[in-house]
Amino acid sequence: MTPAEKNNTIQSPFLDRAKKKLIKVCGMKFPENIRAVAELRPDFMGFIFYPKSPRYAEPLNVPVLHELPPEISKIGVFVNEKLDQILATVYKYRLNGVQLHGSEMVKICDQLHDAGLLVIKAFPVAEAYNFKVMKRYEKSCDYFLFDAQTPIYGGAGQKFDWQLLENYKEKTPFLLSGGISIEDLEDINKIQHPAFAGVDLNSRFEISPGLKNVELLSDFINRYRTL
C-alpha cells in the first residue's frame, strides 16, 4: 500500500472497543433509503459486496456515501474476496472498515488492519461450536460478529441459541447477528456477557431485500438505546 492510498482510508470513530450498545444496519443499497437510515444515526452501516447476495450493493451512489455523517462508520461486507479487490472497493467508496463473512484466514485480517481499517470477522455459530478458533484472530480484528451457521454465505436471517455465547471466553468485543427483530429487545437486554458490544440488523427490518423499513428501525433503535 502506498502512503497516498493509506491516507485515503478514513479512520473509524469507533475504535474505542469499550463502547456498548452499538448498532449496525446492514444490507443497504438504495440512495434515499441510505439517507433516511443515516438520520437514525446507527453506529455502522453495512454495504454487501458479495455478488450472490440479494443485497449486493454494486454499483453504489458514491456521493450519497461520501455525504454520510462522519460518526457513522461505513462497512463493506465481503466473502472470501481477494485483498486487492477489497482495498479497491474501500478506496472507491471511502469505507471505514470491512466485515469478512467467509472463511478468511488471519493473514488477510492482519493486512486490512494494517491498512488502517476497522476489521469485523464473522463466525457462524451452532451447537458444540469451538469458540477457541477465534483466539488467533484477536490481534487483527476490532470486533467479531456471531451469526447462525447456515449453508449460505453472508447470513440467512436465522437465529442461533444465544445461550451458546456463554462459551465465548475471549476479550474481543462481539456484535450479535442473525434474524434479530424488534421482538428480541427483551432477550437482548438480558445478555450480560462482558464482551457483548451491540447488534447487527438486517432482514427483519426490510420491506424488500436492501430496502429498510425506516419506521421499524427507528422504533428499535430508540428503544434499544434506552434499555
**Domains defined for the chain, CATH in brackets:** 3-225 (3.20.20.70)
Cross-strand partners of 196: 174
pLDDT at 45: 98
Place of cell 463473512: 101
pLDDT at 80: 97
- Cα gap 179→204, rounded to integer Å: 6
Comparing CA positions, the residue from 214, 209, 205, 155 lying closest to residue 185 is 205
pLDDT at 180: 95
Q: Helix, strand or coil for residue 185?
A: helix
pLDDT at 19: 62
Determine the length of the chain. Answer: 227
- Cα gap 9→51, rounded to integer Å: 24
- State the catalytic residues: 26, 147
pLDDT at 14: 47
The low-confidence residues of the chain, meaning pLDDT below 50, are 1-15
pLDDT at 154: 56
Q: Is 8 buried (19+), middle (13-18) or exposed (0-12) by CB count in 10 A?
A: middle
Q: Quick: pLDDT tens for 111-148.
A: 999 999 999 999 999 888 889 999 999 999 999 999 98
pLDDT at 158: 78
| Predicted TM-score (pTM) of this structure | 0.91
pLDDT at 118: 98
- Written as one letter, the residue type at 136 is R
Place of cell 443515516: 38
